Chains A and B, each alone.
Chain A
C-alpha cells in the first residue's frame, strides 16, 4: 500500500503544480523566449536545401537561405542576393551582380565563388533539382561580386529556375564540406539555425545583419504538430502563433472567428487524374474523355477541401499571368456513355492507385468510384503508402492515379516534365508531337506573349486529349494569432517570417 500512497502523493503534487499555471509559453526554454512559435505538420527530413524534397524542410529553410533572385507575392522574380543582372543580346549569357556586404550566418562573406560552388554542386552531383540547370553550359565568377551563367539556348524562365524555390539556394562551401549542412545549415537568410529537438521542434534565431533588414522577432520556433486539431487547439490556447496544420472542415467556422486570423490563398498547386496510356482501352482518347465527362469535379472539391479549393480544368489557376480559360468538360454521363460506345470500349474495371500520404486522393477515389458506376466500370481503389505508390507509378502498375503538383511557378513547371514525350514525370506515357513542339518552343521563346500563346495551345491539347484530367487548385490555408502582423499567406506556399511582427500581450 505504501506504493499507492506515494503515487497518489505524486498525482496530488502534479495537480497542484499544473492547476496554478495557465496554458502558458514561458517554459519554452531560454533560447526561444519571445520567439514566434509556428506549428508545421511534420518534421523536416533534413536541412540541406539542395537535397531535401520535403515541404516541411522548405517551410523552415525558406527563412534560413536565400537565392539569387526570389519571387514576390505575385511570383514575379525580384533581386535577392543578386542586386541586378544583364542579359546578352543573344540571351545566352547572363551576368549577375551580387549584393555587397552579405554574410553567411557564420560571419564569412558571401562571394561569387559560393554561388558557383552552389550551382556546380547541384549540376555535378546530379541533385534532384539539376533539371533546373539543364540548359546551363557554364557558371563562372569573373570577380568576387559577379557571376556569369552561359546557356545552350535562350532560357526565358532562367530567373524562375534560379529563384523559384529554396531547392536552388546559395549554400556555404564550408558548411557543405564539413558535412554539417543536413543538420546545422548555414545560410544568408533572415534567420539562422539555432537548434533542433528530434521529433519536437527546430529553433531559428534572428540574423540582425540580414541584408533586407533585421527581422522584428527574436527568432522562430517551428514545432512539429501533425494532428490538425491539436495545432488549432494550441493556436487558440495561445501556445503557438501560426500554423498551417488546420482541419479543412473547420475552415468555414474559423473565418468567422475574430480571435484568430485565417487566410486561404488560391495556390499554384493542382491535382489531377492520369490514365495509363500503355494499357487498353485507356490508350483511346475517347475513353479518357469519357472518364473526364463522368467525374463530378464539384463533388470532389467539396469532399476533399470542404469547398476551399477551386475547380479548374487546366493546371494554371486564374490570376496567374499564364492562365488559360478552358471549360471543355462538364459532369455528363450520357456524353460519357456515347464516347465509350463510339470507341467500342466496355471497360469493366479500373485499378485506381491512391496513397494515404495524400488523404485527398483516398477521399476523391470514393467519389470517382461512384461517378464511374453508371458507365458499368467498377473502380478498384488501391490505397498504398507513398513509397509503394511511387514504385507502382514508376513501373506503370496502374490504370488511373490521382496526384498533385506543388510549388509550380513557370508554365514549364506545369507542363514539360508531365506531358513531353521525354518528360521525366510522364508516367501516363502521353505523347503528342504538337505538344512536344510547343513545350520545346516555350522553353526558348523570349517574347512573353508568344510564349504564353505556346503554353495556352499546348495546355488546350493536353486537356482535350486528357493526358491529365485536371481537377482543382487547392488553397494555401494558414491561421495565426491576431498579435501577428506583417505576414501573408503566399500562393507558392513559401512561409516567410522575415517581416513578421509579434505584438506583446496575449498570453503570459
Chain B
C-alpha cells in the first residue's frame, strides 16, 4: 500500500487519467479536421478513372455514406478496443501499420536525440563557461549555422560524402534492430546524424543560456567563494541546476522527431511515421490519419510525463503534485 500512495505513483496515475481526456480531445479535433478539409478520399482513390457509378460503389463500401456522427461514434467505440479501423487505400488494419512503422521512428528519435545530447551538452557548457571568448563565438556561430541549414540539404550532402564518395555507409533504407543489428546501425547513422545535428544546434543554444543563467546565481558565487574547486562548482552547482530547461528542450526535440521528420524520412527512404502521415493526408485516408495522430499524441504525452518525472529526479526540490 505504501507503494501505491507514493507521490510519484499518484502523480503518474493522475497524469494518465488526464492524458485520456487529452487523447479524446485530440480525436475529436482530428476527426472534425479531416472531414472539414477539402478533398474526397473516394475521388482520389478513383483518380482520373472516375465514373459516378464507381464513385458511389466505393463510397458506400468505405462507409463514407453514413451520417458523420454515426461514423464518429463508431470510430470511438472501436478505437477504445484498440481497433483503429482499416486503411481506405489497401484495407490494412491501421493498428498493424502503425506498429510496423513505430520501430523505425523510435530508432531515429532515440539515436537522433543521443547524438544531439552528445554534441549539445559539452558544446553548450563549454561555450557558457568561456562566455565572450573566441571558443564561445565559434560554438555560437557553428550552432547558428546548424539552425539555419535545411535538413534535406544536410542529408543529401551526407549521402554524397559517406555513401557515394567514400562508400562507408548505405545511402538509404532501414533494417530492424532485432533481426539485423549491424544493418540497423549502418543504416541509421546518416539519418540520425542529420536529425541529430539539427537538433544539436538548437539544443546547444539552450544549454549555453541555461548554464549562463545559473552561473550568475548567488549560490554559485557562494560556492566559488567558499573555495570549492572550479570543477565541482561547474558540475555540482551549475550544470546540475541548468539541467531542468535542458530536459525540457530535449523532450520537445525528441517529440518533434517522433512526430515525424518527413523531409529526412524522404531523403533517406526511412519508413517512419512522418511519410505515412504525409501520404495518408495526400490520399485523405481518414483512418490512417486519425490513427497516426492518435499515436503521435500518445508519444507526446508519454515524453511529457517522463520529462516531468525526471524533473523531480534531477531536482528533489520539485514536488510532483
Task: State the CA gap A43–B47 with chains docked (Å).
Answer: 16
Cβ-neighbour of B168 out of A18, A224, A394 (below 8 A): A18
Produce 1/0 per residue, A35-63, CB < 8 A to B: 00001001101110000011000000000
Q: Does A126 contact B (CB under 8 A)?
A: yes
Produce 1/0 per residue, A383-395, CB < 8 A to B: 0011110111010
- Which residue of chain A has the shortest Cβ distance to B274 in the bound complex? A199
Q: Does A491 contact B (CB under 8 A)?
A: no
Q: Does A128 contact B (CB under 8 A)?
A: yes
Produce 1/0 per residue, A1-43, CB < 8 A to B: 1001001101100100111011110010100000000010011
A387 touches B164 (CB 8 A): no
A18 touches B189 (CB 8 A): yes
A390 touches B44 (CB 8 A): yes
Total number of B residues with any Cβ neighbor in A under 8 Å: 66
B296 smallest CB distance to A (angstroms): 15
Question: With A197-B100, A199-B104, A237-B167 known to touch, is A183 a contact of B91 (CB < 8 Å)?
Answer: yes
- Which residue of chain A has the shortest Cβ distance to B156 in the bound complex? A229
Q: Does A425 contact B (CB under 8 A)?
A: yes
B39 touches A390 (CB 8 A): yes
Task: State the CA gap A17–B186 with chains docked (Å).
Answer: 8
Q: Does B293 contact A (CB under 8 A)?
A: no
Q: Does B16 contact A (CB under 8 A)?
A: no
Q: Does A106 contact B (CB under 8 A)?
A: no
Task: Give the segment of B21-29, B277-285, B307-315 that binds chain A.
Answer: B277-285
B282 touches A386 (CB 8 A): yes
Q: Does B108 contact A (CB under 8 A)?
A: no
Q: Does B30 contact A (CB under 8 A)?
A: no
Cβ-neighbour of A230 out of B38, B41, B100, B159 (below 8 A): B159
- Which residue of chain B has the shortest Cβ distance to A404 in the bound complex? B48
B51 touches A227 (CB 8 A): no
In the complex, chain B residues 50-79 whose Cβ is within 8 Å of any chain A Cβ: 50-51, 53-54, 56-57
A61 smallest CB distance to B (angstroms): 13
Produce 1/0 per residue, A370-388, CB < 8 A to B: 0000000000000001111
Known: A27-B180, A46-B90, A234-B171. 11 other contacts (CB 8 A): A4-B121, A27-B175, A29-B180, A167-B49, A198-B101, A199-B276, A223-B269, A226-B266, A239-B173, A388-B39, A424-B51
Q: Does A319 contact B (CB under 8 A)?
A: no
Question: With A200-B174, A388-B39 known to touch, is A233 a contact of B48 (CB < 8 Å)?
Answer: no
Q: Does A327 contact B (CB under 8 A)?
A: no
Q: Does A405 contact B (CB under 8 A)?
A: yes
A73 smallest CB distance to B (angstroms): 25
Q: Does A341 contact B (CB under 8 A)?
A: no
B39 touches A46 (CB 8 A): no
A200 touches B271 (CB 8 A): yes
B90 touches A45 (CB 8 A): yes
B211 smallest CB distance to A (angstroms): 16
- Which residue of chain A has the shortest Cβ distance to B278 in the bound complex? A226
13 A-B pairs (CB sep. < 8 Å): A45-B90, A53-B47, A179-B91, A182-B91, A183-B92, A199-B270, A225-B172, A230-B267, A233-B163, A236-B164, A357-B282, A387-B283, A390-B40
Q: Does A103 contact B (CB under 8 A)?
A: no
> Across the interface, which residues of B come within 8 angstroms of A125, CB to CB?
57
Task: State the CA gap A224–B101 with chains docked (Å).
Answer: 14
B156 touches A230 (CB 8 A): yes
> Across the interface, which residues of A come within 8 angstroms of B90, CB to CB?
45-47, 182-183
Question: With A45-B283, A390-B43 known to touch, is A199 a contact of B171 (CB < 8 Å)?
Answer: no
Q: Does B106 contact A (CB under 8 A)?
A: no
Q: Does B268 contact A (CB under 8 A)?
A: yes
Question: With A4-B118, A183-B90, A425-B48 known to touch, is A230 a contact of B171 (CB < 8 Å)?
Answer: yes
A237 touches B171 (CB 8 A): yes
> Across the interface, which residues of B come within 8 angstroms of A43, CB to CB?
279
- Which residue of chain A has the shortest Cβ distance to B235 in the bound complex? A1
Question: With A27-B182, A224-B269, A233-B164 known to touch, is A424 a contact of B50 (CB < 8 Å)?
Answer: yes
Task: State the CA gap A118–B268 with chains docked (Å).
Answer: 39
Q: Does A289 contact B (CB under 8 A)?
A: no
Produce 1/0 per residue, A475-495, CB < 8 A to B: 000000000000000000000
B38 touches A387 (CB 8 A): yes
A441 smallest CB distance to B (angstroms): 22
> Across the interface, which residues of B come within 8 angstroms of A390, CB to CB?
39-40, 43-44, 47
> Across the interface, which residues of A come within 8 angstroms of B175, CB to CB?
27
B102 smallest CB distance to A (angstroms): 10
Task: State the CA gap A14–B121 with chains docked (Å).
Answer: 20
B40 touches A387 (CB 8 A): yes
> Across the interface, which residues of A come within 8 angstroms of B57, CB to CB?
125-127
Task: State the CA gap A230–B162 with chains docked (Å).
Answer: 12
Q: Does A129 contact B (CB under 8 A)?
A: yes
Task: State the CA gap A225–B269 with chains docked (Å).
Answer: 5
Which of A179, A385, A405 has its CB near the most chain B CB atoms (within 10 A)?
A: A385
A23 touches B169 (CB 8 A): yes
> Across the interface, which residues of A come within 8 angstroms of B56, CB to CB?
126
Task: State the CA gap A68–B129 with chains docked (Å).
Answer: 76
Q: Does B237 contact A (CB under 8 A)?
A: no
A11 touches B118 (CB 8 A): yes
> Across the interface, which residues of A come within 8 angstroms of B117, CB to CB?
7
Q: Closest 10 interchain pairs by CB?
A: A387-B39, A199-B271, A46-B90, A53-B47, A128-B49, A126-B53, A27-B183, A45-B89, A200-B271, A225-B269
- Which residue of chain B has the shortest Cβ distance to A7 in the bound complex? B118
A46 touches B91 (CB 8 A): yes
Cβ-neighbour of A198 out of B53, B160, B271 (below 8 A): B271
Task: State the CA gap A42–B266 with chains docked (Å).
Answer: 10
> Across the interface, which residues of B come within 8 angstroms of A236, CB to CB?
164
Cβ-neighbour of A391 out of B39, B170, B173, B235 (below 8 A): B39
> Across the interface, which residues of B come within 8 angstroms of A199, CB to CB?
100-101, 104, 270-272, 275-276
- Which residue of chain A has the shortest Cβ distance to B184 in the bound complex? A27
> Across the interface, which residues of B come within 8 angstroms of A152, CB to CB?
none
> Across the interface, which residues of B come within 8 angstroms of A83, CB to CB?
none
Task: State the CA gap A46–B58 with chains docked (Å).
Answer: 15
Which of B51, B56, B282 has its CB near the most chain A CB atoms (within 10 A)?
A: B51
Cβ-neighbour of B48 out of A7, A10, A53, A223 (below 8 A): A53
Task: State the CA gap A224–B172 with chains docked (Å).
Answer: 10
> Across the interface, which residues of A come within 8 angstroms of B276, CB to CB?
198-199
Produce 1/0 per residue, A217-229, CB < 8 A to B: 0000001111101
A471 smallest CB distance to B (angstroms): 17
Task: State the CA gap A125–B97 with chains docked (Å).
Answer: 27
B57 smallest CB distance to A (angstroms): 5
B173 touches A126 (CB 8 A): no
> Across the interface, which residues of B come within 8 angstroms of A27, CB to CB?
175, 180, 182-183, 186
Question: With A18-B189, A128-B49, A131-B49 known to touch, is A233 a contact of B171 (CB < 8 Å)?
Answer: yes
In the complex, chain B residues 74-120 whose Cβ is within 8 Å of any chain A Cβ: 89-92, 97, 100-101, 104, 114, 117-118
Q: Does B185 contact A (CB under 8 A)?
A: yes
A387 touches B186 (CB 8 A): no
Produce 1/0 per residue, A163-180, CB < 8 A to B: 000010000000000010
Task: State the CA gap A128–B156 with chains docked (Å).
Answer: 39
In the complex, chain A residues 101-125 whose Cβ is within 8 Å of any chain B Cβ: 125
Q: Does A267 contact B (CB under 8 A)?
A: no
Task: State the CA gap A53–B46 with chains docked (Å).
Answer: 6
B276 smallest CB distance to A (angstroms): 6
Question: With A183-B91, A183-B92, A386-B282 known to touch, is A18 a contact of B174 (CB < 8 Å)?
Answer: no
